Structure 1
Amino acid sequence: MTLLAIVRHGPTAWNRERRLQGRRDIPLDDEGVAEVAGWKLPPAFASFDWVASPLARARRTAAVLAGGGVGIAPAIIEMDWGGWEGRRLAELRAELGPAMAVNEARGLDLLPPGGESPRMVQHRLAPWLAEVARRSRPTVAVAHRGVLRALYAGGPCGDMRARPPWALSCRDAHPLLGGGGGRPRLRSLDVQAFR
Structure 2
Amino acid sequence: MNVQAKIGSQEKSRVGAARVGIGGPVGSGKTALIERLIPAFAARGISIAVVTNDLVTAEDAERLRRSGLIDPKRVMAVEAGACPHTVIREDPTLNIAAADELEMIFPNVELILIESGGDNLASTFSLDLVDWWMFVIDVAGGDDIPRKNGPGVLKCDLLVINKKDLAPHVGVDLPQMLADARNARGDKPIALTNCRAREGIEEIVDLIAKQLLFR
Q: TM-score, normalised by structure 2?
A: 0.36
With structure 1 as the length reference, what TM-score do the two structures score?
0.39
